[in-house]
Structure 1
């Protein structure tokens, strides 16, 4: 389908909104809000979506925002999710728009995710006549605590719209203009628990247990650029060193009367390893005279659809705005994502968005104290995802697919 010369191209539409999106990103970055407290960020998003003429719901599962765009013709439904909250940490990046909120910073790139999500909504709203179907935009709170997705799903965010597919982007330490997909993998889940110890040797026993837990790790966080480059190579390698892994951390917290509570966290791949890991932790606790408590089941891994990930990669490779699309065959061991719960309900994929520019000192490594993201990634992300969602609606609706003008 040729969209016609009288219709503005996606490139032009993105160029029109990009300055405001960069300003939005910097505003959100300057005033970060922690999980569950995203009032201002949610209000900024809702105001822009309403001004564009979208039907907007707020307060969904906390400070979640949902907007629905109905196209010019009936058809399938796709959803797009972005997250709103910041990390509980202080920022070290020397940027003009650095966080002004002590103890809160956008070190995971959610400010970029928010700006891209708003941009995709604005561009597709101005392309409504090209749309056969519906696009649902989900702006989720509390990703950093793995609580927001469940809260929005429990609030019925998907029930009235029943999307056929769902997509998301996440910042990554890849060059600006590049993307990556994760067919059949994504990010590990998380298990957590604690052991309480008492008696005259509780502190010594707690230290032994803490060290034993951390000794379960089969991979360690990169400490140098060279080590991080090796990890990127491992992520790209099918059946490589990260096909199976465990990462573990623990913290001993002194209590009253010499008691000690040791809290611990485990990430593992593949996701079926947690039963065996729990048994191993119980044995370690027995050796120091403690009893393990696991307050909740392990949080599930995020696993992207192989078919939809490969389809997204194939489509993005045909876009002029995209310099390349990598394929990751393993998960990054130290991060998780509650987008996992959306993917448990609806087929879909998360894509990595390159935000790094090493020559400018922008490393793009999420959760690094000096994390920074290149503003140019915002327009590229909007262009790519708007085109991808249009393409997926065409594919699901059985219409001839086309490159958007």
Structure 2
């Protein structure tokens, strides 16, 4: 019986092995694709420490918008060393690396921003900024390292790539100038990409990738009220409070301006019942000024629903008039209306499916809300080319690392670099080779 059992086990093993071989032979494409992404993971691991060192160098040597001279030089040389074509006459201190695959195909662009912030917030890392008053407090140093990593990984797979990848390193994002200037200078018309992708490190848990179709952020508008005569501090505050309370819309009892709750599993972005959807509020920090016997009140407001935007000015006008300032009112308008990031619906679905297929179901976390306060001039690229913008988790709560952009003690778990390089190298490869 023992010999019979052993014989049966051998037979079962032989049949199973033969079946596996048959499956591989029957579907060599699937096996080949699996090996490609496995190779991407291994290559990402191999260069990880090098990318961390590059990120830390950027962090120690931050440059403000319009001054990204050193960053441009480092990026250019890195891409040249990979064998990419490099162009720097694209706008300001921008860089475009061009990776031409071994076969013809579609064209995909990956964008990374470059500039740092003007601040001196506390920074707990050993590799803190060497430049007083300037700091990578938003994560663009991480973005540059990830983009260089993707270029590195894909360059190793050049012969198997069908098409061309453009790595756009964009200056002047913090001032909301760089992307529009690149577009206006004809960059997209020149390279004519079929798709464009980008990301931003966020306070989400490290390793988490989050995305949604359509608007990623709330619409941010700056409203200006111009009156004939100056208001006292109390009257100005009273008027703004009435405007704010009259416009306010949100889930009962919620405070969508408390963005630290974006990571809360019960009310944060990953919950279908998130507080970060269907809201309108006015920022409590408003400004006043007087000029030529005229008085100005200005404030930012945040609206998630585009269809409501045209209603805001008439509503504010009525509130002003109803509160006794009808004869005082000279003008009322939006003075700042930056476009918001809007992900192409079809392409977002395709990207989610691709990443889930490669790295397992739920590789991408659904985003059910729109974050206020933040925005990205990546929106200007999306106006010309279908694109997807992802949020990449950078926090490690157990280690006390909180990647809340523009906040004191902003830190990033550098494992997010590994996640970004691996996943988005795979996504680009998948999109190129599935024309």
Q: 1:60-209 maps to which residues of 2 (within 5 A)?
A: 60-197=90-227, 199=229, 201-209=231-239
Distance 1:90 1:329 in 2: 34
1:188–1:300 Cα contact (<8 Å) kept: no
Deviations 1:168-201 (A, max 9, x none): 1111222222211212331123222433456464
1:59 and 1:208 map into 2 onto residues whose CA distance is 51
- Whether the aligned pair in 2 keeps the contact of 1:321 and 1:380 (CA below 8 Å) is no
Question: Partners in 2 of 1:47 and 1:34 — Cα distance?
Answer: 20
Cα deviation for residue 312 of structure 1 reads 1.9
Query: Which among 369, 372, 380 is matched to residue 333 of structure 1?
Result: 372
| Equivalent of residue 222 in structure 1, options 253, 258, 263 | 258
Distance in 2 between the 1:126 and 1:365 partners? Answer: 34
**Alpha carbons 1:177, 1:324 under 8 Å: kept:** no
Q: 1:246 aligns with which of 280, 289, 297?
A: 280
SS of 1:92 mapped into structure 2 = coil
The match for 2:418 among 366, 372, 379 is 379
1:348 and 2:378 aligned: no
**Cα distance in 2 between the residues matched to 1:231 and 1:382:** 26
User: Which residue of the other structure, out of 284, 291, 307, is the alignment partner of 1:272?
Assistant: 307
Match of 1:48 in 2: 78
* Structure 1: distance between partners of 2:196 and 2:391: 15
How far the C-alpha of 1:255 sits from its partner, in A, is 4.4
CA deviations over 1:30-85 (Å, ceiling 9, x no partner): 22222222222222212211222211122423222111111001111111111112
Contact 1:56 1:67 in 2 (8 A): yes
Q: Which runs of 5+ in 1 are unaligned?
A: 398-405
For the 8 Å contact 1:185–1:329, the answer to whether it is kept is no
Quick check: 1:61–1:154 contact (8 Å CA) kept in 2? no
Identify the range of structure 1 (128-137 vs 261-270) with the bigger mean alpha-carbon deviation.
261-270
| Structure 1 residue ranges, 4+ long, deviating more than 6 angstroms after superposition | 3-8, 256-259
Deviation at 1:285, TM superposition (A): 4.8
Is the contact made by 2:265 and 2:271 (CA closer than 8 Å) also made in structure 1?
no
Secondary structure, in 3 states, of the residue corresponding to 1:187? coil
Q: Deviations over 1:280-324 (max 9, x none)?
A: 333445554343454656222212123222222222234459983
Whole-Å separation in 2 of the counterparts to 1:308 and 1:117 = 20
Match of 1:236 among 249, 270, 278: 270
Are 2:292 and 1:262 aligned?
no
Q: Matches of 2:336 and 2:262 in 1, distance apart?
A: 31
Shift of 1:22: 1.0
- Deviation of the 1:117 alpha carbon: 0.8
Q: Relative to 1, partners in 2 of residues 1:197 and 1:42: Cα closer, same or farther, differing over 3 Å?
A: farther
* Distance in 2 of aligned mates of 1:370 and 1:280: 40
Aligned residues: 394
Alpha-carbon shift at residue 393 of structure 1 (Å): 0.7
> Is the deviation greater in 1-10 or in 383-392?
1-10
| Displacement after TM superposition at 1:153 (Å) | 0.5
Partner of 1:391: 430
TM-score w.r.t. structure 1 length? 0.87
Q: Is the 8 A contact 2:225 2:333 kept in 1?
A: no
Flag the 1:392–1:8 CA change in 2: closer, same or farther, 3 A.
closer
1:365 matches 2:384 = no
Q: Which residue of 2 aligns with 1:28?
A: 58
> 1:202–1:337: structure 2 CA closer, same or farther, 3 Å change rule?
same
> What root-mean-square deviation, in Å, do the aligned CA atoms of Structure 1 and Structure 2 show?
2.9
2:221, 2:334 within 8 Å by CA — same for their partners in 1? no
Residues 284 and 363 of structure 1: CA distance in aligned 2, closer, same or farther (over 3 Å): same
Q: Distance in 1 between matches of 2:256 and 2:277?
A: 15
Partner residue of 2:43? 13
Report how far residue 157 of structure 1 moved. 1.2
Partner of 1:310: 349
- Displacement, 1:124? 1.0
Q: Kindly tell me: are residues 360 and 188 of structure 1, through their superposed partners in 2, closer, same or farther at Cα, counting changes over 3 Å?
A: same
Shift of 1:123: 1.4
Q: CA deviation at 1:239?
A: 6.7
Map Cα deviations across residues 105-162 of structure 1 (whole Å, 9 max, x no partner): 2222111111101111121112101101011111112222222111110011111221
Alignment gaps of 5+ in structure 2: 1-28, 250-254
